[in-house]
């Protein structure tokens, strides 16, 4: 039992964290030209793909559409995103509307891939995710903010899945958060690093896929996941600095976002407890 726990801890938390740091360094050293910096964010996609493969395995490619295709979706997002980052490295940084539009197209394809149809539920999911993506792109001038929100949201999803005894998705979420933390180490020292499509179409998309898997396992978990989604909008407080007490103004934006995100995570956890109780009643 101890070996299983320590093995999972190493594979889901330690290895993705340090692996992402090392991969980011290798890409940064080996990369050439204008795409070098933006491709560093692909390290998170590689780490996320590893986590998916470790937790879910590599399923055989089938024509069926379901959430078990997550490893394939992450791999496709990583490869397509890295290709665009390499060929058009300035696209996401200079033309945010185009970047956001491409993200929406990819998100729509992912939602249809997982759900297998276009219905009212798919449209609602697309609209909610579109708002979250818009918020992330709005903050992408400081790459730490979207990356930090991925980490916080992944931890929140892990707690929700853990409460609901959905262990595979708990492990996926913890692995994604560890990968994001590894990348944040780089961003803290190299704040000028841009976030590429390889980041948004792999690690960021992993949050959507984990959320869909949790809801698929327990539809009542849609409520706590919606509550958790407010994590992506806590940054709006940062625009009201003139209203802050003097004491809080000394802290960096990411630290304040972390503190403010505690409330949505707590509320989402309470909602998850209620949802779990109801489903078992």
Residue 56 pLDDT: 84
Residue 174 pLDDT: 94
Residue 244 pLDDT: 52
Residue 93 pLDDT: 65
Which domain range does residue 49 map to?
2-280
Residue 2 pLDDT: 36
pTM of the model: 0.88
> What b/e readout covers 171-192, taking b as 16+ CB neighbours within 10 angstroms?
bbbbbbbbbbbbbbebbeeeee
Residue 127 pLDDT: 93
Residue 79 pLDDT: 93
Q: Is 118 helix (H, G, I), strand (E, B) or coil?
A: coil
Point out the residues of the chain with pLDDT beneath 70. 1-7, 9, 31-34, 59-65, 92-95, 140-141, 235-254, 280-281
Closest CA relative to residue 114, chosen from 213, 223, 245, 238: 213
Number of separate domains in the chain = 1
DSSP string, 9-70: HIIIIIHHHHHHHHHHHHHHHH--STTHHHHTTHHHHHHHHHHHHHHH--PPP-S--SGGGH
Closest CA relative to residue 47, chosen from 202, 252, 159, 197: 202
Residue 4 pLDDT: 42
- Residue 66's region, left for phi above 0, alpha for psi from -120 to 50, else beta, is beta
> What b/e readout covers 36-47, taking b as 16+ CB neighbours within 10 angstroms?
ebbbbbbbbbbb
């Amino acid at each position: 039992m101890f070996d299983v726990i320590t093995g999972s801890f190493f594979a889901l938390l330690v290895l993705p964290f340090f692996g992402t740091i090392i991969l980011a360094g290798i890409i940064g050293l080996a990369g050439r030209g204008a795409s070098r910096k933006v491709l560093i964010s692909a390290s998170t996609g590689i780490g996320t793909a590893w986590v998916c493969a470790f937790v879910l395995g590599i399923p055989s490619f089938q024509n069926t559409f379901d959430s078990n295709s997550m490893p394939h979706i992450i791999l496709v997002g990583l490869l397509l995103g890295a290709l665009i980052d390499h060929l058009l490295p300035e696209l996401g940084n200079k033309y945010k509307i185009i970047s956001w539009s491409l993200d929406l197209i990819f998100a729509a394809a992912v939602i249809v891939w997982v759900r297998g149809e276009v219905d009212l539920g798919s449209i609602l999911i697309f609209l909610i995710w579109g708002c979250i993506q818009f918020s992330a792109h709005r903050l992408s001038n400081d790459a730490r903010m979207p990356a930090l929100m991925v980490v916080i949201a992944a931890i929140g999803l892990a707690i929700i899945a853990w409460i609901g005894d959905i262990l595979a998705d708990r492990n996926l979420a913890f692995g994604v958060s560890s990968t994001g933390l590894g990348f944040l180490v780089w961003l803290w020292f190299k704040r000028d690093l841009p976030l590429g499509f390889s980041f948004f179409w792999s690690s960021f998309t992993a949050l959507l896929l984990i959320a869909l898997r949790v809801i698929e396992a327990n539809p009542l978990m849609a409520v706590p996941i919606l509550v958790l989604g407010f994590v992506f909008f806590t940054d709006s407080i940062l625009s009201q600095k003139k209203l802050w007490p003097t004491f809080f103004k000394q802290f960096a934006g990411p630290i304040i976002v972390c503190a403010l995100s505690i409330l949505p995570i707590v509320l989402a956890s309470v909602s998850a407890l209620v949802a779990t109780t109801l489903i078992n009643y």
